[in-house]
Amino acid sequence: MACVFCRIAGGEIPAEVIAREDGATAFLDVTPLADGHVLVIPNVHVGRVEDLEPDTAAALFRAVHRIVGPIRAAVGAEGTTIGINDGAATGQTVPHVHVHVVPRRTGDGAGSVHSIFPHGTRQELASVARAIRSQLERA
Ligand code: AMP
Ligand code: ZN
């Protein structure tokens, strides 16, 4: 059976869809973190960001770019936290790529992306950068 987000993209199960675009669908999260909490998904089933085809990745971010302003205006928010849980280790519960678009207000009690990580890391920047550049050369 197709995953829940595939079924929403295909119109097989109900959702508060706000936009259906070429390659991407945006709908309200059923357990919103704030009014106007929207999920934007690729219309094809892909579990991880790195496995998206480039055109699909572009369509996904094009949809985010198009809807973020209207969402903020609709709920009278001042800002937006935009995030992806990518992989089970991050808390991703639905294994179909989805971008959380969460309207924010000053003093709403939620933190920044930095607040997710309580400890940070002390690894030397240069060696981490070298390792990533080396992987990029192979990709
Ligand atoms: P994540 O933890 O990043 O995988 O987030 C999955 C999100 O999907 C959660 O915020 C859920 O509330 C949301 N969700 C799960 N099922 C549905 C559904 N049928 N319609 C809308 N949102 C859903
Ligand atoms: Zn799916």
Digit-coded pLDDT (tens) for 45-75: 999 999 999 999 999 999 999 999 999 999 9
Give dist(CA 29, CA 35) in Å, integer.
10
Residue 70, phi then psi, degrees to nearest 5: -60, -35
Residue 122 has pLDDT above 90, yes or no: no
Kindly tell me the burial class for residue 42, based on how many C-beta atoms sit within 10 Å of its own C-beta (0-12, 13-18, 19 or more): buried
What's the gap in Å between 137 CA and the centre of ligand 1? 35
CB 19 within 8 A of CB 68: no
More confident site: 139 or 132: 132
Residues with C-beta less than 6 Å from any ligand 1 atom: 4, 15, 29-31, 39, 85, 91-94
CB 102 within 8 A of CB 63: no
The pick from 13, 41, 94, 99 for probing ligand 1's pocket by mutation, whose C-beta has the most ligand atoms within 8 angstroms, reads 94
Domain boundaries, the chain: 4-138
Strand partners, 79: 104
Mean pLDDT for the stretch of residues 112-139: 94
Lookup: tokens for 55: 């055109």
Mean pLDDT for the stretch of residues 25-49: 98
Q: Does domain 4-138 have CATH number 3.30.428.10?
A: yes
Give 17-27 pLDDT, tens digit per residue. 999 999 999 99
CA 100 vs CA 69, 84, 117, 132: distances in Å: 14, 6, 18, 26
Q: Of 37, 139, 54, whose CA–CA distance to 98 is shortest? A: 37
The pick from 1, 13, 31 for probing ligand 1's pocket by mutation, whose C-beta has the most ligand atoms within 8 angstroms, reads 31
User: Which atom of ligand 1 lies at the shortest distance from residue 13's CA?
Assistant: 19
In this prediction the pTM is 0.97
Residue 1 has pLDDT above 80, yes or no: no
Q: E strands within the chain? A: 17-21, 24-28, 38-42, 79-83, 99-104
Query: Which ligand places an atom closest to the C-alpha of 89?
Result: 1
